[in-house]
Every structure is written in C-alpha cells, then in structure tokens.
Structure 1
Amino acid sequence: MSKHWFIAHLIKKYTNGKNIGLDVGVGKDNWSDFKKCDFIDVDINKQSKSDIIIDLEQHLPFKDSFFDVVISINVLNYVKKSRQVMKEINRVLKMDGIFVCIVDNPNSNNEKDDTWSQTYLDRILSLTGFKTILKNNLKDFLYAKWFNKTSVYAFAVVKKIENYETPLKKDVVTNKKTKQEIKWAKSYNIKTTHPED
C-alpha cells in the first residue's frame, strides 16, 4: 500500500505531544512510523497488527475520556453501525481530544457502495459530538479539499465537543496512563458486553 503523504502529515501533526492514542481498525499498521505518541491498536481481524482484537460494532473496552487522540484510516465507511462506533470513539476520547478520520470517497474505484462524500463524513461527525478543526489551519484545510477532489479520500480532523458517555459493566482499562497499564491493555483480549443506546 502506498502511503498518502497528507495522511502521514495529519497523523504526525495531531499525535505529536499527546500521551496516548487509539488506532481504530489498525490493519497492518501502515502508519506506525508517523504516530508520535503511545498507541493502543484495535481491529477485528486476527491477522492484523492489533494489540486488542475486538468487534468494532460492539463497544470499545476503555473507560470514558481515556485517549488524547484517535485515528481511523479507511475503516468507518465499511462498518455497518458506523454512528455507534463514532459515539464510542467520542466516549473514550477526552473532552477537546482530537479525532483524525479518513474514509474512501466516491472517487475510489470501490466496487461496493461503501464510500462517503466529504459532506456525509462531516455531517455524521457533527451528529456524534465532534466539531471540525481542520479549518483552523488554512493550509491543511486547502490540501484536504484538494485531495478530496483529486484522490480517493475524504478527510476530517475534529475535536470532541459533546459527551456520549455510557457506563461500562466490566473489563475496562483504567484512566491511569502508566506504561505498565498500557502494556497490560495491549496484551488483554477483552470480551465484554455493552449496554445498547
């Protein structure tokens, strides 16, 4: 897989200086060279380079407001319950935490109808408690607009502005961010249930 330089730029920029991040749908972890903080990686695929194997359509097994940054590259447009996953991302992200979300747009030669327009991506993020911050950096905003038109991706960098907190029943990672707990979280295969919305 070739690495789109703008995706790499966004990951580097918005993970720099953060304590801990979450990569939702890590896959082969093609972006690890660009992550500038500790990450916990989750995916449903057992062949992925995931720290924790989970069904993304269930819940994310972490406490509320645990992560400083979340990234998701080419995943959410393939998840059936994408709005639920975004609410879960909102729940585990700290207030004012950053979410970098990239999805396939209609320019991709995707055989299935699993692409999202930039308008749809922005709308679903707004409905799940996020506000764009990409417009705060004119250069990044213009690159995102350009690549949305000329490449196969729709880009969003958003900040959490509303809470979608749901109490978990058990098996959640604590809010302490010691290296030992991060190591524990990465080695822990979590199987829990989550209350419905």
Structure 2
Amino acid sequence: MAHIDPIGALMIFLVGFGYAKPVPVNMRNFRRKRKDGAADNVYYMGSDLTCDSKYAKKCMALVALAGPVSNLLMAIVSLLFMNVIKYLIPLTTITAVLYYFFYYCASVNVALALFNFVPIPPLDGSRILNVALPDKVYYSLMKYERYIMLGIFILILTGALNTPLAWLQNVVIGGLDAIVSLPFKLF
C-alpha cells in the first residue's frame, strides 16, 4: 500500500492507465565481493559517504532490470499454464476461459516489460542505459524527466505507441510461446 499514488490510482479509472510511487532504493545495501571473497559495502565510511560510482551504476541497473525481468518470468509462467490447458486438459468452457486469462496475463506482462525497457526517464530502461552513458549526459537527460513523463502520457493517450509496442509484444509472445510449448509438442 505504500507504493499507491492517489492521483495515479485515480487515473486508472479516468483514462485507463495509472502509475505508482517510485520504489526507494537504499544504495547502502548494495554489496560486492572482494577478491578475498568477503562482501564489501558500495558506500565507505569516511568524513562523508562516498560511493564507488561505477559499481553503484551497475547495481542500479540490476535493480531496474528486476522489474522487466520479473514481468517476463510471469509471462513465461502464464504461457506455461496456457500450454498445459491447451495440450493436456480437454476443452470446456472453463478451460477456454482459463486459457484466455493466462494469455491475457502473458500479454500484459510482456507489454509492461517492453514498455519499461524503453530507455527514457523515468522508465527502467533509462536506469539500465545509465551504465553506458557518461554521468554528465545522463544527468542532463534526467533534468527533463518530468517533461518526458508528460510526453509519455500524451503518447499513450493518443495511441502513438500502440502499433510499435503491439507488434513487438506479438513477436515476444510468439517467441516465448514457441519455447514454452516445445516440450508439450514433443510428447
């Protein structure tokens, strides 16, 4: 409940698309293994807290990658259940409803993963892109995060992203389904 944004939740009912509060990340919890095998904090105590910025950028990219990867894993699990219904359970009204429910779950999760991989702030793809960009370029891009978010909402509301994302979504679902359904087709 801590991540629910009242305006973002209201937007779901008004325009069909909403948002949540950003999840805070405590960089003091990032650890890395030293050459001797022990774990080290990324932050070091001194006169002030300083950070090994190259490692911290990689950690933030991994944190950002967790969301889209979990969406893809949920899509794979949904496709697995969908294929169990398709290949192992006789067709009835209930199984048809379940089949389409799991297909819808897979579609939504793939769409969320693809949308979050777009490398523009504040989406996760921009945090992943941060590893490749120089700090100066990345921070100058982040200054415009609010305006870019407004642009994203306009693109969503006008439907400008529908065709490219739907095409890519169908390609990803088709590829994942081909992999997931392979064991079922062999038997």
Going by fraction, where is helix more abundant, 1 or 2?
A: 2
Highest relative contact order (Cα 8 Å, sep 6+), 1 or 2?
1
TM interval, short-chain normalised: under 0.3
TM-score by length of 2: 0.23
TM-score by length of 1: 0.22
Going by fraction, where is strand more abundant, 1 or 2?
A: 1
User: Looking at CA atoms only, which structure, 1 or 2, has the larger radius of gyration?
Assistant: 2
